């Protein structure tokens, strides 16, 4: 229990309070894969905060005459009641209730939608948990005094309890999560923005190629669990932390050659962990490999510093500096969309994090 995050003197309001926040997805460059309870990472990770792939969430807090035992809520996602979303939200509310006990005094009406296709493999749990956490902390700020720093750290802290990587969606352009010798203020409990970034990374582009829009075949919950008995787990955690040490100076200098090599290695290490776990999984599809080979050939031919990264699925994130936007759009349209389901992709770029809408 983290005492510093327990709401203090937060007296319930008499009137209803409605708030709306949007939060972006994020794409990890150094991957988080493996955790301990409660949602504490086994290695430090670092991500680009995105800007177009966002979840927009409204919460109406209506005071109850008598407080309930747990958090009472309704959820409407893209206009529909979603019973399948309830278990994850119930667990989330049970986890955060010790930190926001005043929530039992309200009926919450949550209305939410994504600006990107749900279950596309784009991390909707990151954006949705960060947006919801922002709404919850906004209510808390009405009830008790919180500094801006308290607020942003608490949003990241609560979001983490919903979905680990969600804690990295609150600020931009990059966030790091997990204690690490090279990041003085880093914590396992919430994510911090990475400062001193070369301008090339502040408007980096990420085109997400939707190779397989079906439900993820391995949930990240299961994936993290598979790291418990994994023969290479300790080496992986050490390697991820070493990659982060290597990447930090590169992020200041803007050396794209080294950046590309670390980012692509991270993506492949993540997938190597899944291929060598028990049970084992191959989450890439033939089209994932075709895209990767095309990116490598294009990079060799043009010397344009484009690279890929992957989440725990078949989709490919194509990463490139903004100055090559026109050439990349043409390459993606001409060569890569043929490998996507219904030729679908989402053009995104680095962004600034949560905001009111």
* Smallest distance, ligand PMV to C-beta of residue 138, A: 23
* Smallest distance, ligand PMV to C-beta of residue 161, A: 11
- Chosen residue from 49, 51, 156, 163 binding ligand PMV by CB under 6 A: 163
- Give the Å distances, CA to CA, from 82 to 75, 111, 113, 163: 7, 11, 12, 18
DSSP conformational letter for 27 = E
Environment class of residue 185 by beta-carbon count within 10 Å: exposed (0-12), middle (13-18) or buried (19+)?
exposed
* Smallest distance, ligand PMV to C-beta of residue 300, A: 28
Binding-site size for ligand PMV (CB under 6 A) equals: 14
Q: Which of residues 217-236 bind ligand PMV (CB under 6 A)?
A: 220
Q: Residue 110 or residue 283: which is nearer to ligand PMV going by CB?
A: 283
* Smallest distance, ligand PMV to C-beta of residue 272, A: 13
* 332: contact with ligand PMV by CB under 6 A: no
**Residue labelled with tokens 């807090």:** 61
Q: Residue 10 or residue 318: which is nearer to ligand PMV going by CB?
A: 318
DSSP string, 308-347: EEE-SSS-EEEEE-GGGHHHHHHHIIIIIGGGSGGG-EEE
Q: Residue 267 or residue 291: which is nearer to ligand PMV going by CB?
A: 267
**Residue labelled with tokens 């006990």:** 101
* Smallest distance, ligand PMV to C-beta of residue 219, A: 8
Q: Which of residues 273-312 bind ligand PMV (CB under 6 A)?
A: 311-312
- Chosen residue from 164, 173, 193, 353 binding ligand PMV by CB under 6 A: 164
The answer to whether residues 31 and 332 touch, using CB atoms and an 8 Å cutoff, is no
Of the listed pieces 66-74, 161-169, 327-335, 344-352, which binds ligand PMV according to CB under 6 A? 161-169
Q: Which of residues 170-209 bind ligand PMV (CB under 6 A)?
A: none
∠ CA 92-55-177, nearest 5°, is 60
Strand partners, 205: 320, 349
* Smallest distance, ligand PMV to C-beta of residue 218, A: 10
Q: Residue 22 or residue 128: which is nearer to ligand PMV going by CB?
A: 128
Q: Residue 312 or residue 318: which is nearer to ligand PMV going by CB?
A: 312
**Residue labelled with tokens 């919460």:** 59
Q: Using H for helix, E for strand and C for coil, what is the string for 223-288?
A: HHHHCCCCCCHHHHHHHHHHHHHHHHHHHHHCCHHHHHHHHHHHHHHHHHHHHCCCCCCCCCCHHH
- CA contacts within 13 A on the Cβ side of 326: 1
As a whole number of Å, the CA-based R_g of the chain is 20
* Smallest distance, ligand PMV to C-beta of residue 114, A: 15
Angle between helices 148-162 and 86-96 in degrees, nearest 10: 130
Of the listed pieces 106-114, 163-171, 250-258, 341-349, which binds ligand PMV according to CB under 6 A? 163-171
* Smallest distance, ligand PMV to C-beta of residue 231, A: 19
Of 331, 226, 312, the C-alpha closest to 277 is 226
- Chosen residue from 123, 175, 210, 256 binding ligand PMV by CB under 6 A: 123
CA quadruple 54, 247, 325, 267: dihedral sign: negative
Of the listed pieces 112-120, 157-165, 204-212, 290-298, which binds ligand PMV according to CB under 6 A? 157-165
* Smallest distance, ligand PMV to C-beta of residue 32, A: 3
Angle between helices 256-275 and 233-253 in degrees, nearest 10: 160
DSSP-based three-state secondary structure for 297: helix
Q: Which of residues 4-43 bind ligand PMV (CB under 6 A)?
A: 28, 31-33
Q: Residue 143 or residue 312: which is nearer to ligand PMV going by CB?
A: 312
Q: Residue 105 or residue 213: which is nearer to ligand PMV going by CB?
A: 213
Residues that bind ligand PMV (CB under 6 A): 28, 31-33, 45, 123, 125, 163-165, 220, 270, 311-312
């Amino acid at each position: 229990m983290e005492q510093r995050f327990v709401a203090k003197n937060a007296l319930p309001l008499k009137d209803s309070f409605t708030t709306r926040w949007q939060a972006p997805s994020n794409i990890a460059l150094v991957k988080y894969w493996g955790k301990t309870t409660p949602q504490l990472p086994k290695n430090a990770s670092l991500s680009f905060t995105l800007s177009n792939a966002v979840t927009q969430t409204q919460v109406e807090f209506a005071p109850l005459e008598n407080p309930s035992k747990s958090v009472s809520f309704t959820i409407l996602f893209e206009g529909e009641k979603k019973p399948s979303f309830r278990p994850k939200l119930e667990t989330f509310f049970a986890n955060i209730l010790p930190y926001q006990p005043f929530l039992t005094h309200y009926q919450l009406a949550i209305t939410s939608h994504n600006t990107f296709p749900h279950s596309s493999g784009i991390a909707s749990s990151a954006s949705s948990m960060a947006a919801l956490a922002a709404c919850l902390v906004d209510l808390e700020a009405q009830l008790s005094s919180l500094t801006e720093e308290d607020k942003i750290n608490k949003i990241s802290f609560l979001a983490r309890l919903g979905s680990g990587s969600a804690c990295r969606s609150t600020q931009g352009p990059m966030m790091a999560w997990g204690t690490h010798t090279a990041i003085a203020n880093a914590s396992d409990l919430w994510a911090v923005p990475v400062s001193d970034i070369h301008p090339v990374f502040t408007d980096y582009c990420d085109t997400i190629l939707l190779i397989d829009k079906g439900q993820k075949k391995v949930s990240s919950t299961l994936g993290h669990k598979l790291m418990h008995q994994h023969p290479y787990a300790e080496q992986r955690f050490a390697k991820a932390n070493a990659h982060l040490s290597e990447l930090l100076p590169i992020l200041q200098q803007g050396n794209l050659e080294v950046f590309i090599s670390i980012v692509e290695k991270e993506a492949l290490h993540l997938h190597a962990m899944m291929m060598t776990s028990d049970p084992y999984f191959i989450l890439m599809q033939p089209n994932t490999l075709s895209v990767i080979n095309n990116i490598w050939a294009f990079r060799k031919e043009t010397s344009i510093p484009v690279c890929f990264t992957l989440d725990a699925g078949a989709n490919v994130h194509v990463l490139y500096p903004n100055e090559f936007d026109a050439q990349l759009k043409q390459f993606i349209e001409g060569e890569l969309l043929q490998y996507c389901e219904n030729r679908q992709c989402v053009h995104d770029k680095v962004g600034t994090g949560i905001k009111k809408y």
